């Protein structure tokens, strides 16, 4: 309790010091705390978030009015000649924002301009500065005028072909009669029209050719808008030829003698025939048909900017190439009414062979463990930019049973395995799905693996096979669909353990060590709006869903499926039947100087039914480990308040998981980075289960069973990979009785968990 009191005291000190910045503020200055936007009208709605974008001076971020980071700035400012204080000032402090009257005047002017641009002409904006204890609050009071609305929309288009194109999309245009006058809506409509025309052959059409003429009536506050497109004639362009350089090298592009190889193909059996002209010197070592689905710019088609963008995206998925460029040139035509373009695609190859080594390690109470893997990747295994990946992995760990290490040797728990996968950069399916393929460029994935777990009391052998697809529906959304997912698990207990299991009455424990088969499908939806070119805040959302056994259950009364002990089996192995889903939400907030606040919230649930009483152990939820609850070893937390009474290595598994993580990452020196973090969560069973007494999820108890840990980490960031060491300790452990679960005052060095890994935990 003394340690907890000290922590609370430290927090109180930090809060109070945040309040004490006013004595450091110069006499002629005030710190800007808040900009307050007030709409003085209940009749007209004004977006406060949009208005705030036009306020020039942003206030210091504060916590309920407290400014601890500003206080740190003042306290360390005159000590920056010393390395430690310079680091604190650079990474933890923030400069005060002093109120500036000129910035307020600029903000007022910009807000008035914004109101004019959105139809609220001659609205009033009054600014008021309120000051207290060296703190400034600026109020922007808006009295909006009655907005101008659009009475009529007309067109002044001299090119009849363009006029017809606009008529075709008139219902989709954004500027509508009855809407408020809004210059931003007009600008979006200009983009929409430009993109539409460029997607329909108008190669040279640009946004600046579209002009809006506005005629306003002050008395009735109406606006008549005329859309004018300059130019008497705008030409459509047809693709003449497509030249592809599959092995382009800019260093010898002008010295190498190349051959032109025409290649004809059809996208499907009855589709029209297309031709690409490949240009290369020596053998490019890539099948020319690789580009059939990838290059969507075809001779005879109208120019389409959308097809160009889709081709770029598809080329980016070919791991064989590191750089790609698409350019167009106009050429002469025998018919003056037909305008032609030649398209040139240049591709620069990347490395074919890649190797990678990863290591992970843990240490808890003197029990050591390590896991390593070696991966090989070939980016052109079948000369079609197919990616072959083979991973060999192995590991060892101390495992104690009844506080004694049993089995031969110190490291009595071992794991070995091999996983292989092939990614085909095209859609392999008996169904053609032309539009889906051209729009989203799906990739096909084939995986297989074999893993062996050697435990003190048993060996477990797991074989996996899957077949599925991956595609992007937008720049931020990605999909994974695996219609075939097959796992078989064989368990070989020792003679002693087999004898123990024969007398075990707990079915869930017995099921952990029983042969079973998983045959089903899974789907993943991923949203991520990260911009790799900027360090902006971003979100990440992943939703997984998996089912198993439903297809096999249709054959229960056929010779394919046999029955044993009231369970159905295929090839002598009981198949699992369940439904499972999981949601993983993350948010990353960037501060200055590369400081990042990363937060994650996970929720998952699985339901066994039909041929299964419980979820298979490898599909069950677990807590603990280097990427989750770091204050506990892998699979040692929960479910609920369960505290294992068993002498053998029962897996701590559940049907439901709730976990949250927060981590503050900051640079230390050079490639060395640091982090402080805390994890909270647990797993539970959905029903009362004698395997895990106290493990059932209950609404009136689960929040008391949320485990809590905290720690710090050191990271070596080498850009292309990151080595991580996280040191964590449990603070609140639900396995103890209520009232004794806070264990901060009881912590010993043996309770500290060391997690060693590659890459960030999330």
Residue 650 CB partners (closer than 8 Å, separation 6+): 509, 512, 644, 691
Residue 735 forms part of a structural domain: no
- Of 191, 212, 229, which closes a domain? 229
Tell me the sheet residues that pair with 605.
Answer: 581, 656
- Asked, for residue 376, whether it belongs to a domain, the answer is no
Q: Are residues 188 and 274 in the same domain?
A: no
Among 668, 693, 711, the domain-final residue is 711
- Picking from 215, 417, 249, 218, the residue whose alpha carbon sits closest to that of residue 323 is 249
Q: Which of 211, 229, 247 is the last residue of a domain?
A: 229
Six token digits for residue 745: 């005052």
**Beta-bridge partner residues of 264:** 275
196 shares a domain with 130: no
The β-bridge partners of 424 are 444
CATH number at residue 442: 2.40.160.50
Write down the pTM of the prediction.
0.76
End-to-end Cα, the chain, rounded Å: 32
Tokens of 295: 């290059």
Residues 618 and 699 in one domain: yes
List of long-range contacts for 551-557, beta carbons under 8 Å, 24+ apart: 551/519, 551/520, 552/519, 552/577, 553/577, 553/610, 553/611
Q: CA–CA separation, 585 vs 411, rounded Å?
A: 37
Residue 685 maps to a domain: yes
137 and 157, same domain (yes or no): no
8 Å CB contact between 635 and 625:
yes
For residues 139 and 251, membership in a common domain is answered with no
The pLDDT value given to residue 406: 46
Same domain membership, residue 582 and residue 496: yes
Q: Which CATH number belongs to the domain containing residue 174 in this structure?
A: 3.10.20.310
Residues 223 and 335 in one domain: no
Range of the domain at 313: 237-349
The answer to whether 605 and 499 are in contact (CB under 8 A) is no
Could you tell me if 556 and 695 lie in one domain?
yes
CA distance 443 to 470: 5
Whether residues 33 and 156 share a domain: the answer is no
Is there a domain that residue 663 lies in? Answer: yes
What pLDDT is attached to residue 594?
Answer: 75
Between β-strands 339-349 and 237-245, what pairing exists: parallel, antiparallel or unpaired?
Answer: parallel
Amino acid 362: pLDDT = 53
The rounded distance, in Å, linking the Cα atoms of 206 and 188 is 14
Q: Which two tokens stand for residue 548?
A: 């198993």
Tell me if the bond preceding 639 is cis, omega within 30° of 0: yes
> Has residue 335 been placed in a domain?
yes
Q: What is the CA radius of gyration of the chain?
A: 33
Residue 758 lies in a domain: no
Q: Same structural domain for residues 535 and 651?
A: yes
Pair (540, 584) in one structural domain: yes
Q: What is the pLDDT of residue 728?
A: 92
* Binned average pLDDT, 10 residues per bin, the chain of 762 residues: 43 50 85 91 86 90 76 86 84 87 94 94 93 90 93 93 93 93 95 96 94 88 92 91 90 72 85 90 88 91 94 90 94 84 94 82 56 88 92 76 47 84 90 81 93 84 93 90 92 81 71 83 94 81 94 88 85 90 94 84 94 86 89 87 65 90 86 90 88 87 93 84 87 91 87 83 86
Is 754 among the domain residues?
no
Q: What is the pLDDT of residue 404?
A: 39
What does the pLDDT read at residue 467?
A: 96
- Pair 10, 60: CB distance under 8 Å: no
Which own/partner contact pairs does 78-82 have at CB distance under 8 Å and 24+ positions apart? none
Residue 762 included in any domain: no
Same domain, yes or no: 220 and 120: no
The total of structural domains in the chain comes to 4
657: tokens are 């998981």
């Amino acid at each position: 309790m003394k340690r907890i009191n000290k922590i609370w005291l430290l927090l109180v000190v930090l809060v109070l010091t945040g309040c004490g910045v006013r004595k450091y503020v110069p006499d002629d200055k005030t710190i800007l705390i808040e900009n307050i936007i007030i709409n003085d009208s209940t009749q007209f709605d004004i977006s406060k978030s949009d208005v705030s974008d036009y306020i020039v001076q942003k206030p210091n971020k504060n916590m309920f009015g407290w400014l601890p980071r500003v206080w740190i700035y003042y306290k360390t400012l005159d000590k920056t000649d010393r390395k430690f204080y310079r680091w604190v000032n650079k990474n933890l402090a923030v400069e005060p924002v002093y109120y500036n009257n000129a910035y307020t005047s600029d903000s007022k002017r910009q807000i008035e301009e914004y109101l004019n641009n959105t139809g609220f002409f001659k609205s009033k904006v009054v600014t008021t500065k309120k000051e207290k204890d060296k703190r400034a609050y600026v109020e922007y009071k808006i009295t909006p005028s009655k907005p101008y609305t659009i009475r009529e929309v007309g067109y002044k288009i001299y090119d009849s072909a363009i006029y017809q194109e606009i008529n075709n999309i008139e219902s989709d245009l954004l500027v509508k009669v009855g809407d408020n006058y809004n210059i931003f809506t007009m600008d979006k409509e200009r983009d929409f029209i430009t993109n539409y025309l460029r997607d329909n052959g108008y190669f040279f059409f640009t946004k600046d050719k579209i002009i809006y003429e506005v005629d306003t009536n002050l008395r009735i506050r109406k606006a008549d808008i005329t859309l004018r497109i300059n130019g008497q004639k705008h030409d459509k362009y047809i693709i003449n030829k497509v030249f592809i350089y599959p092995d382009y090298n800019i260093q010898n592009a002008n010295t190498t003698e190349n051959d032109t190889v025409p290649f004809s193909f059809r996208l499907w059996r009855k589709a029209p025939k297309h031709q690409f002209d490949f240009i290369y010197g020596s053998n490019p070592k890539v099948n020319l048909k690789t580009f059939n689905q990838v290059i969507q710019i075809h001779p005879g088609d109208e120019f389409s900017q959308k097809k160009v963008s889709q081709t770029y995206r598809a080329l980016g998925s070919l791991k064989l190439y590191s750089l790609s460029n698409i350019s167009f040139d106009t050429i002469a035509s025998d018919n003056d009414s037909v305008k032609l373009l030649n398209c040139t695609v240049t591709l620069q190859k990347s490395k074919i062979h890649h190797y990678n080594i990863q290591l992970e390690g843990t240490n808890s109470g003197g029990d050591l463990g390590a896991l390593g893997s070696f991966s090989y990747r070939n980016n052109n295994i079948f000369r079609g930019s197919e990616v072959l990946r083979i991973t060999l992995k192995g590991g060892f760990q101390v495992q104690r049973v009844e506080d004694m290490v049993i089995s031969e040797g110190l490291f009595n728990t071992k794991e070995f395995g091999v996983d292989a996968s092939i990614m085909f950069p095209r859609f392999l399916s008996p169904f053609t799905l032309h539009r889906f393929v051209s729009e989203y460029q799906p990739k096909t994935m084939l995986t297989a693996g074999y893993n062996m777990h050697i435990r003190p009391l048993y060996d477990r052998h797991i074989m996996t096979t899957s077949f599925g697809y991956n595609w992007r529906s937008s720049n931020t959304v990605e999909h994974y669909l695996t219609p075939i997912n097959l796992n078989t698990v064989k368990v070989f207990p020792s003679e002693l353990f087999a004898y123990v299991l024969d007398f075990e009455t707990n079915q869930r424990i017995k099921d952990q060590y029983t042969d079973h088969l998983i045959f089903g499908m899974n789907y993943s939806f991923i949203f991520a709006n990260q911009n790799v070119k900027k360090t902006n805040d971003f979100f990440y959302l992943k939703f997984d869903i998996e089912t198993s056994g439903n297809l096999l259950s249709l054959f229960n009364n056929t010779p394919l499926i046999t029955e044993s002990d009231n369970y159905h089996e295929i090839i002598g192995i009981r198949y699992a039947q369940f439904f499972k889903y999981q949601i993983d939400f993350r948010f990353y907030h960037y501060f200055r100087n590369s400081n990042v606040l990363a937060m994650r919230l996970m929720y998952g649930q699985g339901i066994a039914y039909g041929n299964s009483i419980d979820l298979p152990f490898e599909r069950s939820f677990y807590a603990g480990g280097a990427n989750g609850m770091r204050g506990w070893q892998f699979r040692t937390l929960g479910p609920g308040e369960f505290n294992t009474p068993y002498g053998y290595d029962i897996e701590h598994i559940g049907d439901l998981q709730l976990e949250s993580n927060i981590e503050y990452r900051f640079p230390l020196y050079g490639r060395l980075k640091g982090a402080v973090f805390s994890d909270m969560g647990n797993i539970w069973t959905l029903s009362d289960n004698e395997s895990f007494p106290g493990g059932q999820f209950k609404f009136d108890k689960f929040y008391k069973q949320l485990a809590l840990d905290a720690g710090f980490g050191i990271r070596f960031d080498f850009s292309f990979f990151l080595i991580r060491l996280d040191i964590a300790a449990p603070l609140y452990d639900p396995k103890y009785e209520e009232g004794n679960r806070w264990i901060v005052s009881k912590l010993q060095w043996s309770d500290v968990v060391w997690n060693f890994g590659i890459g960030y935990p999330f």
